[in-house]
Structure 1
Amino acid sequence: MVALPVKPQFSLGPLILAIVCIAFFFAGQSMTDLLAYDRYALQSMETWRLISGNLIHTNGYHLLLNLVGLALLWALHGEHYRPVTFLKLFIWCGLGTSLGIYFLSPQLIWYVGLSGALHGIFVWGAFMDILNKVRSGWLLLAGVAAKLVFEQLQGSSEDVASLIDASVAVDAHLYGAVCGVLLFVLMWGSSLAAGFIASRRKA
């Protein structure tokens, strides 16, 4: 039986993110209008939307799907999620997703949801598994790569789009995943560099 990472140092980050998303959802439509990613509002310097748009959802089904995804990531990779690390990952993956949409998908005017950032965190977690010699990390990485390729070639699921009352922004999933790769490389590279510097000082 696999033990879930229920200790506070593993679960606090995802829990904070879930609570914020739920609170914004119940704050109502006015909060959605204020915080959603909106290309025209961003052009008017409402730059907070680059982050806050990732915390907003179209309806209860959309919120529930993303919270289930968040819970799955926690169950898979929670042992890597120190609170500050996890929240930094979310912020950078969310920001990278929004910037990717803004500069590379100009046809996408409005976007909300965790899914882009969650793809980034998923990829980062898979790489962390690989780094820690957990072989399933390779399977997870191959699975998400196949999903991204399929989405780019075939588009989004009409059933999911109908459920969440919005089109599925498959480009956001791709940009989020790329951010996850970049963040892992930067963090791993920084760790290697710090280790090298420390060893040189001891020598």
Structure 2
Amino acid sequence: MLKFLVLFSLTLLILMMPQLSALFHWQHDVTSSHQWWRIFTGSFTHINAYHLGMNVIGYWLLAYLFRTPTKGFILHTAVLALCVGIGLMFTSTQNYYGLSGVLHGLFAVYVLKEILAGRLSSWLLLMGLIAKLIAENNHMMPISSAALIGARVSTESHLIGSVCGLALPLIALGWRRLR
């Protein structure tokens, strides 16, 4: 896992180069018309070093907090990046940078997997996530990281990532039961 996390973090750092960021960040107009790769790559671009740092720290914490296998973590990251990119197409968002939608989704995936495995204390984590989403999508909490990153925080991506993250373990469970 450590090798992957280092490589992934360095990739995110490289994607901060202005030429690459301009080519890969999620942008509604060009994504919907012809630059479809941005649906996937938008989650891997960042506004500035603070933004990147917060997201990378969150990513590493999730990897170690939930002690997930590397392949599963990579797969969930990729699927959630795609889900967030597609989901944002149905919002008024025009530009999106960052991993926060994926981070919310990863948290949701692994909390729900713990709940499904019988870990009752994870219900508290799920309730905390739901409370956070309700609060930030109803303007009930100050979003102080917006000042730090110099951009609006995309609460839509948090909600999309969380919903997709909750859906993934349920889809996997249903698939296993059908087979």
TM-score relative to the length of structure 2: 0.92
Take 2:99 and 2:139, find their aligned partners in 1: how far apart are those partners? Answer: 21
Q: Residue 156 of structure 1 contacts residue 167 of structure 1 at CA under 8 Å; is this kept in 2?
A: no
Instruction: Spell out, residue by residue over 1:154-184, the C-alpha distance to the aligned partner (whole angstroms, 9 max, x if none).
Output: 1674531111011000011000001101111
Q: Say if 2:137 and 2:155, in contact at 8 Å, map to a contact too.
A: yes
Residues 42-101 of structure 1: CA deviation (Å, up to 9, x unaligned): 1331011011110000000000111111122123212xx222221111111111111111
Q: Distance in 1 between matches of 2:117 and 2:109?
A: 12
Letter in 1 for 2:147: S
Are 1:18 and 2:3 counterparts? Answer: no
How far has the Cα of 1:151 moved from its partner?
A: 0.7
Amino acid at match of 2:13: I
Structure-2 residue corresponding to 1:77: 66
Corresponding letter in the other structure for 1:75:
Y
Q: Which has the larger radius of gyration?
A: 1
Aligned residue-pair number: 179
* Alpha-carbon distance, 1:136 to partner: 2.5
In 2: Cα distance, 1:137 partner to 1:17 partner: 27
Match of 1:47 in 2: 36
Q: Which residue of 1 aligns with 2:85?
A: 98
Structure 1, unaligned stretches of length 5 or more? 1-7, 195-203
Distance in 2, matches of 1:113 and 1:157, equals 19
Question: Is 1:62 matched with 2:39?
Answer: no
Q: CA deviation at 1:132?
A: 2.3
Letter of the 1:151 counterpart: E
CA shift in 2, pair 1:110/1:15, >3 Å:
same
Provide the rounded CA distance (Å) in 2 between the counterparts of 1:30 and 1:156.
35
Change in 2 beyond 3 A, CA 1:12/1:140: farther
Q: Secondary structure at the match of 1:151?
A: helix
Paired letter, 1:162 = A
Further displaced range: 149-158 or 117-126: 149-158
Task: Give the alignment's Cα RMSD to 1 decimal.
Answer: 1.7
TM-score (norm 1): 0.82
> Which ranges of structure 2 fall in alignment gaps of 5 or more residues?
none
| Equivalent position amino acid for 2:23 in 1 | L
Cα deviation code 1:111-165 (max 9, x no counterpart): 0100001111100000111122222311111111110000111167453111101
Partner of residue 201, structure 1:
none
Distance 1:185 1:16, change over 3 A: farther
Q: Percent identity?
A: 30
